Structure 1
C-alpha cells in the first residue's frame, strides 16, 4: 500500500491505491488545511515534494485555480489529487495557501466547433 508523508504535520499514512489526498488527510488526521473539498477555494493546496510519478493527472479545476505557474512548481490541490501506486511526500505553506486562495480561477478556453 502506498504512503502519504505529510511533511508539514510530520504524519505518515498508509493508504489504499488511488486514494484522494484530502480525503485520507481528513479520515486519518493528516492535518492538510481544507475548506470546500471541490477545488474552488484553494485551501488544500500542497506541494508534491517526492513521488510526483505516483499521482494522477491534473484536473481541469486544478488548472483553473492554480494556473500553469503553480502547477509547474509542483503544487496540486489535495481535494483533486489521487495517489496511485507509490509513496508521495507533500508539504504546505500558509503564505502559498493565502496566495492561491486569492487567485481568481482562469477561464478554460473552449475550442470552437467547426462550422458546417
Structure 2
C-alpha cells in the first residue's frame, strides 16, 4: 500500500486570501497555475523574474534558494522573504503575496 502524501495549505494573500491544498514539496508556481492562485508569470523557468513573490508567512517551509533566483533577487530581497515562485518548493503551510501589475 502506497503511503499518503502529506498535504499543506498555500494561501494566496493577493488573491483574496484564497487557500488551497497541495502536496508537501510542491512547486509554488505550479500550485498557483493548477489552483488559479494568480501569481504572475511569463516563462516559468527562472529566466524572466516575473513570478517574484513575497512569502508572508511560512518562509521556513520554503526550500533553499536556487542560483537562478540570485539573478533576480538581492540578498536583501531574500532576507525580506522574497522568492521566485517557479524556483520555490514548499514543505509546509505558506502565505504568499505579490505586486499586481
Greater helix share, 1 or 2? 1
SS state at 1:36 partner: coil
| Alignment correspondent of 2:8 | 2
Aligned twin of 2:75: 68
Deviations 1:6-28 (A, max 9, x none): 00002111000100000011011
Number of residue pairs matched by the alignment: 94
- Give 1:38-53 correspondences, 5 Å limit: 38-53=45-60
The alignment's TM-score, normalised by the length of structure 2, stands at 0.88
Please list every run of at least 4 consecutive aligned residues from structure 1 whose deviation after the TM superposition is greater than 3 angstroms. none
Larger radius of gyration: 1
Across the aligned residues of Structure 1 and Structure 2, the Cα RMSD in angstroms comes to: 1.1
C-alpha distance in 2 between matches for 1:71 and 1:64? 12
Question: Structure 1 length as normaliser, TM-score?
Answer: 0.77
More strand by share: 2
| Shift in Å, 1:40 | 1.3
- Structure 1: gaps of 5 or more residues: 96-116
